[in-house]
Chain A
Amino acid sequence: MTEKRIPHTDLDRLLDRLRGLGAVHAPTRDESGDVILAEVSPGKPVVLDYKNFPLSPKVFLLPQTQTLLRFTNGKPHEPAPVAGNGGPSQGDGRPPNRQAFLFGVRPCDARALLALDEVFLGGDQRDPYYERLRAKTVVIVLACTRPMSSCFCTSVGGGPSDEAGADVLAIGLEADLLLRAITPKGEDLLSSAADLLGDATPPAIEEAQERARKAADQIAPVELDRSAERLRNAYDSPLWGILSQKCLGCGTCSFLCPTCHCFDITDEVRGDVVRRVRTWDCCAYPLFTLHASGHNPRPTPKERWRQRLMHKFRYAVENLGRLFCVGCGRCIRNCPVSLDLRAVFRELGA
């Protein structure tokens, strides 16, 4: 496992080198002052002073709107470029012809990509649209030093400098950035920039571990042990009705969640042109389970909210062997009514 380092002041040179190999997405400020993960052209300032991005990087692999097929007069054809903002939330079905380097992804979000891989690549069928994008994506994780009060990655098997899902893990030190290759893709990346990088010295590695430890200490633990079993026993608990009363069914939690992946497919027709498009969907919407007969098996916010937590903390564990939550806290921070799923586990008891 190669470990290198690069002075902070040379980061731009590394990114320039990567630009020769593909598109570089890095943290940058948008018009409203938020730090987002977006393609940075040379000269555009990269910001390293951020907690996490509003949208998770799943948007690069599962765009909010993705054209799957186009037909004209009954004949399928190669999708033409889609009009519109063309940002990471839109995509067409064409295979990308360039690598995409995602620099600055947080460990929680990288771990989430492994959960998405389970869904889209882990079964008998592999989702070709996801697969094409995934194959061309290189994930460079930037370890966290300042967790938020909504973070709980350490309680779901992750941590502020966790390696899961990363091709390269970058840890910010005082003067340098420590770069650790985790996968073969990561090794390739480091070799392609070998002339820019120095070796990681034992003191540097020591400093990295110390910083990781300090960050992890700031994260309050959540009682998520045996979550699947506890949820199974609590299916009929009155707790669900009480806690879910507040839920507005707004969809914010699912849309921002790095592991949520439910989607809808619609055919848009105009004249003899048909476009089949995949868009994000959310189980908190009443329409999600509405049958054509009018019956809805999840008729109220209680059933829907319970389902959401069951899926993430029980069904996913029982079916796929992993939690579908990485503790990023976006659902907690952005919920308009400040619902906090951590409260569920506190109230559930043993």
Chain B
Amino acid sequence: MIQTQSGQETGPAKRDWEPKIVAFLCNWCSYAGADLAGVSRIQYPHNIRVIRVPCSGRVNPVFLLRALQNGADGVLVSGCHPGDCHYISGNLVARRKFALLKELLQYAGIEPERVQFTWVSASEGGRFAAIVEKVVEEVRRLGPNDKLVKKL
């Protein structure tokens, strides 16, 4: 079971610090949904940086860990709803990967709010914005990420 640890401060939030969220969006659904949010002028937090992937199934767990290592405070992965994948079953295989990854990272002590997964379809501009709001808020409450961060 996933437990949320909301309200738990994990590190001092620097003044003027803004969370940096890296979002992996699948090209056919989630990226289009984000685009729709933009075209519809729906306001949502500017904290996400989008990386477009062909399919949520393309996302390798090492991408998420690398993002955290390079300074991201949180990661979001979004794909098509099950049954709607442009490549038929990419998101279905991804679903299993993400379920296990989320459990493993939480087990290791990484706050579950920092690594989040969702499905957003091409017509769900509003849903996309709402999810981004939620993710940014949750990461803001946690403070800057200090796990896996590598200083060069």
Contact = CB atoms under 8 A, between A and B. Distances in A.
A347 interface: no
A83 interface: yes
For B70, B149, B151, B152, which residue has the most chain A Cβ atoms within 10 angstroms? B152
A296 B149 CA distance: 36
Interface string A50-83: 0000000000000000000010000000001011
A153 B70 CA distance: 46
Contacts of B152: 70, 268, 270, 273-275
B128 to A, nearest CB: 28
B43 to A, nearest CB: 29
Interface in B136-152: 149-152
A222 to B, nearest CB: 44
Interface range on chain B (Cβ under 8 Å from partner): under 10
Contacts of A273: 152
Interface string A77-98: 0001011000000000000000
B29 to A, nearest CB: 31
Interface in B57-80: 70
B152 to A, nearest CB: 4
Nearest to B150: A83
A72 to B, nearest CB: 9
A31 to B, nearest CB: 18
Contacts of A82: 151
A159 to B, nearest CB: 44
A82 B150 CA distance: 10
Contacts of B70: 270
Interface in A139-177: none
Nearest to B69: A270
A253 B6 CA distance: 47
Nearest to B149: A83
Contacts of B150: 83
A268 B149 CA distance: 14
Contacts of A70: 152
Contacts of A274: 152
Contacts of B151: 80, 82-83
A204 B152 CA distance: 53
A28 to B, nearest CB: 27
B86 to A, nearest CB: 33
A270 to B, nearest CB: 6
A273 B70 CA distance: 12
Contacts of B149: 83
A83 B146 CA distance: 12
A268 B150 CA distance: 11
A82 to B, nearest CB: 8
Interface in B16-74: 70
Interface string B111-152: 000000000000000000000000000000000000001111
A273 B149 CA distance: 15
A105 B150 CA distance: 33
A82 B151 CA distance: 7
Interface string A262-293: 00000010100111000000000000000000
A70 B152 CA distance: 8
A240 B149 CA distance: 44
B20 to A, nearest CB: 13
A268 B70 CA distance: 12
Nearest to A269: B152
A106 to B, nearest CB: 35
Interface of A: 70, 80, 82-83, 268, 270, 273-275
Given A268-B152, A273-B152, 10 more contacts: A70-B152, A80-B151, A82-B151, A83-B149, A83-B150, A83-B151, A270-B70, A270-B152, A274-B152, A275-B152
12 contacts: A70-B152, A80-B151, A82-B151, A83-B149, A83-B150, A83-B151, A268-B152, A270-B70, A270-B152, A273-B152, A274-B152, A275-B152
> What are the 8 closest A-B residue pairs judged by CB atoms, nearest first?
A275-B152, A83-B151, A273-B152, A270-B152, A268-B152, A270-B70, A70-B152, A83-B150
